[in-house]
Structures are given as structure tokens and as C-alpha cells.
């Protein structure tokens, strides 16, 4: 039997930067130390007007091919996680397959998952490989939330950045390398993190003259913009993530066997609260979002790539990954590098 193994990770950030200094000039009531103190973020990368998820995903994938770790002709499955597709249809994965020059025998499909999406993608890649359907999966996470954010909404503008990551998962004869998948969903919280207008239920063209509203905190948005109920998302995370995390462990796999913990890199406040709740040691708790912000489905692969490059994650290390957020959705797994 073949097993699924991560053999390469690359990521791509847009060239345009939105710094805390930029935000402080727009929102004088929020100075630079206050923004960093709340978010732990110094910089976010923002796509250009004509730059989309597929553009970032393309450049991340090309880094994989340029490294020589795999030939594009060997890719037989492309999985793309995005909530900001280039078009309503066709799937952005189909566009990316053609642009990358992948074989026409390659499967290619999108899925819309968000903050837990990387782990869901790993689960699908593992299933496809270990049932013998494919051998080489290119998992792409690509998000441009900035296109949904009203410039006057500092509640989300301070948090989110655009990015894409490409992860190569290959069939190997080695022992199990990606394992212990856990999932969860609570759609009753869907309205806590949502873009209300733009889908089939409320088409954008039928809502062209949307009312612009300002909330009690001074944040401005329309129903075509991203809305996040911060307190509700925090409450959800502090309830569900500990339950999810604890379900990873049993008599055969204990907490002390984990070398690193990589949680969805939401923001400093959220990660601090979860680390305290779970009593995790800081030296094992990975934080790699200061330079790019919350990049949704790409936060975990970016954090893994940064930690690998810095030598913090080494061959043989076991990493526990936890994703949670929009949906509401959550997922966890372990990775042995």
C-alpha cells in the first residue's frame, strides 16, 4: 500500500503591502502599537485590482516546479481551496490546470472551505492517494479576501491578507506521514463570518444599489462586503477548538509526542487565548503571520514553510495542525516530516 506524504510547500504573496502605519493614517483612533497589540500583525499583502486567486496560485505552483522536486507532467490531481474564485463558473482549478500546463488526464476541482480548508485538502489528498486513484496531488490554497472588504471596515481590514500556497503530496512507500484526521461543522453559525450578497440567493446584479451602513464601532460596510462577528467567532473557537484538539490524543498518541503545534494563524488575541486554554508550551507553538496577516486557508501551509526554512521543524518531527473558522468549520490532523 502507498501512503501520502508532503514533499514540498511553497507560497506566494502579492507585492502590494498594507502596513500598520498605513492603517493608522486612515484610522487615527488606532495607532500602530494598538493595531499590533490586538492583532500581532505588522503587514498584510493585498492583491492588485486585476490580480485574482489563480494568479497567486499559479506563481506558488511554479515555485514547486522550479525547485525540480516534481515534473508538471507527473501531477495527476489539482485541488484548489478558495472562497474568492476567479469566476462563479467554471472552477478556478480548471483554469489553473490549463495555465500550468498540467496533463489533461489530471483531475482538477475547487472546494470552498476557508480557515479549515488546508486540512480538508490534506484529507482528500490522502484518500485519493491511499486508495490508488492518483499518485501526485498539488493542493493549492488561494484567497483574496481583500476584494470583499470595505475600506472603511477596520475590524477585518486589520486582520486579513491575500496569499496562496502550493503543497505537493505524493505517494510513498514510507510509513504513515499524514494521519489522525478530525473534522467538525456547525452551520448554525454561518452568518457570523459571511459575504451576504454575491451568490445565487442574493445575486450581486440584483443588489447594485446596496445601503452603506456604519456599526457602533464605526466600521463601514455593505452586504456585498465581508462581515465578521468577532465575539461570536471567538466564543466558537474557544469552545470547539479545545474539543477538537483533545480528540487527537489517546493511549497510542499522547501530547508529549508532538514537536510543534500549528494552529490557523487567525490573530494574536485568538492564538494567545487558545494557547492558554490548552496550556501549550510557547516554544512548541508556531506563530508565522506577523508579515502577512490572516491568509485564511493558506495560514497553516505558510507557517509550515516558514518553520521548515528556519530549521525549527526538522525531519522526523510530528506537527499537530488545527484549522477553524468560517462555516463554521473545524479540522485537525498530524503530519510527520
Going from N- to C-terminal start, the domains of the chain cover 3-176, 179-336
Per-residue confidence at 29, pLDDT binned at 50, 70, 90? confident
Q: Please determine whether the domains at 3-176 and 179-336 fall in the same fold group of CATH.
A: yes
Which residue's C-alpha cell is 463554521? 328
CATH topology of domain 3-176: Peroxisomal Thiolase; Chain A, domain 1 (3.40.47)
| C-alpha closest to that of 36 among 307, 299, 293, 295 | 293
Which residue's C-alpha cell is 466564543? 235
Q: How many CB atoms lie within 10 A of CB 155?
A: 19
Q: What is the pLDDT of residues 183-204, one digit of tens each?
A: 999 999 999 999 999 999 998 8
Residues recognised as catalytic: 115, 264, 294
Distance CA 318, CA 148 (A): 36
Mean per-residue pLDDT, 125-136: 98
pLDDT of residue 206: 66
At 65, list the grid cell: 516546479
Cis geometry, peptide bond prior to residue 206 (ω within 30 degrees of 0): no
Mean per-residue pLDDT, 89-115: 98
| Architecture per CATH, 179-336 | 3-Layer(aba) Sandwich (3.40)
* Backbone phi and psi for residue 164, each to the nearest 5 degrees, phi listed first: -140, 150
Task: Check: CB of residue 231 under 8 Å from CB of residue 163.
Answer: no
pLDDT of residue 152: 94
Mean per-residue pLDDT, 316-326: 97
Q: How many residues does the chain have?
A: 337
Q: What DSSP state is assigned to residue 89?
A: S
| C-alpha closest to that of 241 among 163, 320, 306 | 320
Predicted TM-score (pTM) of the model is 0.96
Q: How many CB atoms lie within 10 A of CB 210?
A: 15
Which residue's C-alpha cell is 502507498? 2
Amino acid at each position: 500500500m502507498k501512503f501520502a506524504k508532503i514533499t514540498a510547500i511553497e507560497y506566494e504573496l502579492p507585492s502590494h503591502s498594507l502596513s500598520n502605519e498605513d492603517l493608522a493614517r486612515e484610522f487615527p483612533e488606532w495607532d500602530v502599537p494598538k493595531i499590533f497589540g490586538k492583532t500581532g500583525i505588522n503587514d498584510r499583502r493585498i492583491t492588485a485590482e486585476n490580480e485574482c486567486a489563480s494568479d497567486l496560485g499559479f506563481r506558488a505552483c511554479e515555485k514547486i516546479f522550479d525547485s525540480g522536486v516534481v515534473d508538471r507532467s507527473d501531477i495527476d490531481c489539482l485541488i484548489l481551496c478558495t472562497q474568492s474564485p476567479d469566476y462563479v463558473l467554471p472552477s478556478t482549478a480548471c483554469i489553473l490546470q490549463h495555465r500550468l500546463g498540467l496533463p489533461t488526464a489530471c483531475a482538477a476541482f475547487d472546494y470552498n472551505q476557508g480557515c479549515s480548508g488546508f486540512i480538508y485538502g490534506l484529507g482528500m489528498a490522502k484518500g485519493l492517494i491511499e486508495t490508488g486513484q492518483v499518485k501526485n496531488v498539488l493542493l493549492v490554497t488561494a484567497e483574496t479576501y481583500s476584494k470583499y472588504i470595505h475600506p472603511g471596515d477596520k475590524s477585518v481590514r486589520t486582520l486579513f491578507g491575500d496569499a496562496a500556497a502550493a503543497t505537493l503530496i505524493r505517494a510513498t512507500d514510507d510509513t504513515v506521514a499524514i494521519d489522525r484526521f478530525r473534522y467538525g461543522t456547525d452551520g448554525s453559525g454561518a452568518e457570523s463570518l459571511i459575504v451576504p450578497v454575491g451568490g445565487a440567493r442574493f445575486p450581486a446584479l440584483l443588489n447594485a444599489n446596496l445601503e452603506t451602513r456604519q456599526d457602533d464601532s464605526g466600521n463601514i460596510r455593505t452586504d456585498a462586503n465581508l462581515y465578521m462577528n468577532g465575539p461570536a467567532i471567538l466564543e466558537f473557537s474557544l469552545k470547539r477548538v479545545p474539543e477538537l484538539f483533545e480528540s487527537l490524543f489517546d493511549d497510542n498518541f499522547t501530547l508529549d509526542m508532538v514537536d510543534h503545534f500549528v494552529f490557523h494563524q487567525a490573530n494574536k488575541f485568538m492564538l494567545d487565548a487558545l494557547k492558554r486554554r490548552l496550556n501549550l508550551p510557547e516554544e512548541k507553538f508556531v506563530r508565522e503571520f506577523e508579515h502577512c496577516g490572516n491568509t485564511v486557508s493558506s495560514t497553516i501551509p505558510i507557517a509550515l514553510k516558514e518553520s521548515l526554512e528556519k530549521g525549527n521543524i526538522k525531519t522526523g518531527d510530528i506537527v499537530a495542525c488545527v484549522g477553524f473558522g468560517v462555516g463554521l468549520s473545524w479540522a485537525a490532523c498530524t503530519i510527520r516530516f
